[in-house]
Amino acid sequence: MAALTIPAPSSPYARLLGVGAYRPERVVPNSELVEAIDSSDEWIQQRSGIVSRRFAGPDETVRSMSVAAAAQALEAAGVEAEQIDCVIVATVSHLMQLPAVATLVAHDLGTNKAAAFDISAACAGFCHGVTLASDMIRGGSAGHVLVIGVEKLTDLTSPTDRGTAFIFADGAGAVVVGPSDTPAIGPVVWGSDGEHYDYIRQNIDWGTVLRTAAETGEVPPMPHMTMEGSSVFRWAAFEMAKVAQQALDRAGITVDDLDVFIPHQANMRITDAMARTMKLPSSVRIARDIAEQGNTSAASIPLALERMIADGEARSGDTALLIAFGAGLAYAAQVVTVP
């Protein structure tokens, strides 16, 4: 048997080097949505914490939003596109089944034919991507990796669905992950619960849509997301606090060592419930980007991180706990150092 040559990894650790964001132009207040779902601004704010969100226009695509967020992350990191060895795009709303949008994004950015692929882990996608990036760098498969979380969920949301129309929104966030001499991305705690695959899902698969159209001559309505809101709420608020605590334990720190808490921006009440269950000290600054951004699934954590850095709420060197969870069910959490 031939002995393989495997070079030693060039970096013992990885870190986030820069963050970027793209928020679509159009701001949509609750008042624009309430009529179609027989709701009110007050109800939406009380139940979800959402005041407004951004909806992408026809020219703001998964591709263009990814490129804009990634370009900003590269600039913030001081890294050139040619230095990127891999582009990971976390999304569930790139409506082209194949190929991955990541190859287009890598090309648009001017990488040197970087490896590029999409991952489908819904709202947990960004934290999955950060884990993959960190392990690639530590394992020697890549020097610098771009991780992008992007969604155009308006394409998959029915404006008349009372349980989802006011929650989901559009946007993109990105980070550059690169080598580090010191630990700056903690061990991941991740997993899935396929028993509850149905909690959040597309109401009908594309194959059925096309076959129905072919057989009946009528094109069915665009597929949209459905959600068992209260089941998701209970799972997220209680089970995910345990996962967040495990991520702290695995990183060898406690809530007292935390500066920043950035949970997936699913619902302000879920964030509050998690913070209470984890007994976060009042000194921990908590991401509340959902108020103005809605739930942008894979984009929500990098968008919230970018906002907290811009507002001075997260400072370079701070210790931040990230936890993402959603459809699948899928989840991932890790502690990171703010770039």
Ligand X SMILES: CC(C)(COP(=O)(O)OP(=O)(O)OC[C@H]1O[C@@H](n2cnc3c(N)ncnc32)[C@H](O)[C@@H]1OP(=O)(O)O)[C@@H](O)C(=O)NCCC(=O)NCCS
Binder among 48, 131, 180, 245 for ligand X (CB under 6 A): 48
Binder among 266, 275, 314, 323 for ligand X (CB under 6 A): 266
Q: Which helix (H) or strand (E) is 104 found in, with range?
A: helix 101-109
Binder among 9, 163, 183, 191 for ligand X (CB under 6 A): 163
Site for ligand X contains 43 (CB under 6 A): yes
Site for ligand X contains 37 (CB under 6 A): yes
For residue 5, what are the contacts with CB-CB under 8 A and spacing of at least 6?
none
**What's the CA angle centered on 220, arms 215 and 224, to 5 degrees?**
140
Piece of the chain touching ligand X by CB under 6 A; list 15-23, 37-45, 59-67, 96-104: 37-45
Calculate the CA 45 to chain-centre distance. Answer: 22
Pattern of binders to ligand X over 282-301, x per CB under 6 A?
Answer: -------------x------
The contacts found for 73-76 with CB under 8 angstroms, 24 or more apart, are 73/18, 73/19, 73/20, 73/146, 73/174, 73/175, 73/176, 74/18, 74/20, 74/109, 74/146, 74/176, 75/18, 75/20, 76/17, 76/18, 76/19, 76/20, 76/176, 76/339
First CA to last CA across the chain, in angstroms? 45
Binder among 230, 282, 283, 316 for ligand X (CB under 6 A): 230
Piece of the chain touching ligand X by CB under 6 A; list 82-90, 171-179, 229-237, 303-311: 229-237
Site for ligand X contains 240 (CB under 6 A): no
For residue 217, what are the contacts with CB-CB under 8 A and spacing of at least 6?
none
Q: How far apart are the C-alpha atoms of 57 and 279, rounded to whole Å? A: 41
Q: What minimum distance in Å lies between the beta carbon of 160 and ligand X?
A: 10
Q: What minimum distance in Å lies between the beta carbon of 94 and ligand X?
A: 18
Q: What minimum distance in Å lies between the beta carbon of 230 and ligand X?
A: 4
Calculate the CA 316 to chain-centre distance. Answer: 21
Piece of the chain touching ligand X by CB under 6 A; list 7-15, 24-32, 110-118, 222-230: 222-230
Q: What minimum distance in Å lies between the beta carbon of 174 and ligand X?
A: 20
Closer to ligand X by CB, 227 or 258: give it.
Answer: 227
Piece of the chain touching ligand X by CB under 6 A; list 82-90, 100-108, 161-169, 308-316: 161-169
Strand partners, 147: 88, 175
Closer to ligand X by CB, 21 or 121: give it.
Answer: 121
Give the residue numbers annotated as catalytic, written as ranges. Answer: 123, 264, 295
Piece of the chain touching ligand X by CB under 6 A; list 35-43, 84-92, 170-178, 180-188: 35-43
Site for ligand X contains 162 (CB under 6 A): yes
Tokens 């619960």 belong to residue = 193
- Token pair listed for 44: 């939406």
Closer to ligand X by CB, 108 or 228: give it.
Answer: 228
- CB atoms under 10 Å from CB of 136, counted, come to 21
- Token pair listed for 94: 């790139």
Q: How far apart are the C-alpha atoms of 338 and 260, rounded to whole Å? A: 9
Asked if 171 and 293 touch (Cβ cutoff 8 Å), the reply is yes
Site for ligand X contains 9 (CB under 6 A): no
- The 3-state DSSP class for residue 145 equals strand
Pattern of binders to ligand X over 178-207, x per CB under 6 A?
Answer: ------------------------------
Pattern of binders to ligand X over 123-152, x per CB under 6 A?
Answer: x-----------------------------
Q: How far apart are the C-alpha atoms of 33 and 163, rounded to whole Å? A: 12
Q: Which residues are near ligand X by CB under 6 A?
A: 37, 39, 43, 47-48, 123, 162-163, 166, 227, 229-230, 232-233, 236, 266-267, 270, 295, 326
